[in-house]
Amino acid sequence: MADTDTSQKNAGTPAVPMSAMSVLAPLLGWLVPGAGHLVQKRWVRGGLIMASIVALFIFGLAMDGKVYPPNTGDILDILGFVGDLGSGGLYILGRSMDWGADAIRFATADYGTKYIVVAGLLNIMSMVDAYHIAIGKKP
């Protein structure tokens, strides 16, 4: 009878380590954009992510962009809220300071709203990137 070794069967599939860093990096990256990379000593990538997301958010506010409140109304408002919520700490700060609460009156304000939403979506992408680095899927 042939000897079957289960270690040889599973040798080709790498195990995904669930460490504290795989949970901490995305959460920190959501709260402070770029922090998920900085905590993993990815200084340049973390700094670039932080600078770009904060700049998008600030430029959006400077153009009188709208920060969407939580709601269950129009589908586009819900999607805007989800995009804004991706900014994490910036969204919490913006809502607590009542930034972007005015109605959109100018075309530049609509562009500003898009900047704020894109900042949130970019932060979500950076959280996923920080997670993949933490689990060793990406060098």
Determine the Cα–Cα distance for residues 65 and 113; give it in Å rounded to an integer.
4
In Å, what is the CA distance from 98 to each residue of 51, 61, 66, 90, 111? 23, 11, 10, 12, 19
pLDDT range class, residue 21, cuts 50, 70, 90: confident
Q: What is the pTM of this model?
A: 0.82
Length of the chain: 139
Whether the pLDDT of residue 2 is over 80: the answer is no
Determine the Cα–Cα distance for residues 27 and 126; give it in Å rounded to an integer.
11
